[in-house]
Amino acid sequence: MVVLGIETSCDETAAALVEETGDAGRPWRLLSSVVASQVEIHRAWGGIVPELSARQHIRDICGVVERALLDGASGYDAIAVTSGPGLVGSLLVGLSFAKALAWSRSVPLIGVHHLAGHIESLVLEHGEVPLPAIVLVVSGGHTSLYRVATPGSYELLGRTRDDAAGEAYDKVAKLLGLGYPGGPAIDRMATAGNDRAILFPKTRLTHADRNQPHLPGRRDFSFSGLKTAVLRHVTVRRAELGLAADDPLPPPEVADTAASFQRVVVETLLDQLFDAVRWFGAQSVGIAGGVSANSRLRETAATRAAARGIPLYLPSLALSTDNAAMIAAAGLRQYRRGLTGGVELNADAALPLNDHRPS
């Protein structure tokens, strides 16, 4: 069985073909994957403009799907498409396209949660991982911690109350004059800096969220305080150096600020991740999503996992940022569990993942 995956939840138009192998340990094989990035369009605005994103998906989707089908040199038996969460106008482009194609070809349609896709990117890359696993999904829109006790079940343990880690990277990079997207720019700049030059605060939440009082909350994240601390530091240093409001700090200070910010983000993420690993007696640990491309996060996670003697799974760089291969893989997982949709499937900008819990 081959699944065509389609992903348009944010600023990448993506299509991919993934085939079932019949091997239980390594269930899926990637046949083709095409990603059309809109980053050059949004760079001019310093961030993603949702309306421009939706319009560009419309321009790109036919060519991207066609290319994936040609590269994969194969037909398909079902279509998996991201139905949420994400930018609703962007989601609707992929979803409408997938619905029309599934209807015209009489193949099943599978609506996939974007974060289930990021989690399954680990299995697509490495084969089935030892369970229970604790997986951190860390991207521009999400910072969420999941427990995977059985294949295809995703239990939310904690998530950010405000900014996602990638969003904090993007905003701090903008503040430091490093451009968009901020993650790779800070990652590069930080290598030249002293990560203890500025002691930014680490946020550790201990109380329930007032808006979600039924959730325990102690595994939640928050990055808006850190972002404000960086803003305050930059403002004070500009005043001390006699710089104008928009002037960049001298490059060595930018490097120190980037490195100090990055140390706090990485430690905050990994403290929570490994605390959950210990608490739940996990057999493996995973990190997925765009920020899992971060070099310091990868290195520090590898050191901590080795110290605990637990296997760590990370996606390759191509599978860490948004792609449709992970959507096709998660779609195959769902298809085998009987979870398919139909023409009534709708885009949901805030789709919860616990829909996919085992019944």
Q: How far is the CB of 298 from ligand KG4 (least distance, A)?
A: 9
Task: Tell me the sheet residues that pair with 37.
Answer: 12
Per-residue binding string, ligand KG4, 150-189, x by CB under 6 A, is: ----------------x--xx----------xxxx--x--
Q: How far is the CB of 176 from ligand KG4 (least distance, A)?
A: 13
Say which residues have a Cβ less than 8 Å from residue 270's Cβ, sequence separation at least 6: 297, 300, 301, 304
Q: How far is the CB of 168 from Zn ion (least distance, A)?
A: 15
Q: Are the beta carbons of 35 and 12 closer than 8 angstroms?
A: yes
Taking the least distance from each CB to ligand KG4, the nearer of 192 and 239 is 192
3-class SS of residue 148: strand
Among 94, 117, 290, 315, binds ligand KG4 (CB under 6 A): 290
Is 253 a binder of ligand KG4 (CB under 6 A)?
Answer: no
Residue ranges in 88-147 that form contacts with Zn ion under rule CB under 5 A = 139
Positive or negative torsion for Cα 298, 141, 27, 286: positive
Is 7 a binder of Zn ion (CB under 5 A)?
Answer: no
Say which residues have a Cβ less than 8 Å from residue 333's Cβ, sequence separation at least 6: 116, 120, 123, 151, 152
Pick what 143 binds: Zn ion, ligand KG4, none; C-beta below 5 to 8 Å, kind-dependent.
Answer: none
Could you give phi then psi for residue 218, rounded to 5 degrees? -75, -10
Q: Are the beta carbons of 115 and 137 closer than 8 angstroms?
A: yes
Q: Are the beta carbons of 1 and 292 closer than 8 angstroms?
A: no
Among 322, 340, 341, 356, binds Zn ion (CB under 5 A): 322
Q: How many chain residues bind ligand KG4 (CB under 6 A)? A: 19
For residue 158, give the H/E element and its range: strand 155-159
The structure tokens listed for 58 are 């419309």
Pick what 111 binds: Zn ion, ligand KG4, none; C-beta below 5 to 8 Å, kind-dependent.
Answer: none
Say which residues have a Cβ less than 8 Å from residue 104's Cβ, sequence separation at least 6: none
Residue ranges in 126-145 that form contacts with ligand KG4 under rule CB under 6 A = 139-141
Is 7 a binder of ligand KG4 (CB under 6 A)?
Answer: no
The structure tokens listed for 39 are 């980053």
The structure tokens listed for 90 are 């962007």
CA dihedral defined by 295, 155, 165, 28, rounded to 10 degrees? 40
Span interacting with ligand KG4, options 94-102, 286-294, 334-342, 345-353, rule CB under 6 A: 286-294
Taking the least distance from each CB to ligand KG4, the nearer of 9 and 334 is 9
Interface contacts to ligand KG4, rule CB under 6 A: 10, 139-141, 166, 169-170, 181-184, 187, 289-291, 293-294, 321-322
Interface contacts to Zn ion, rule CB under 5 A: 139, 322
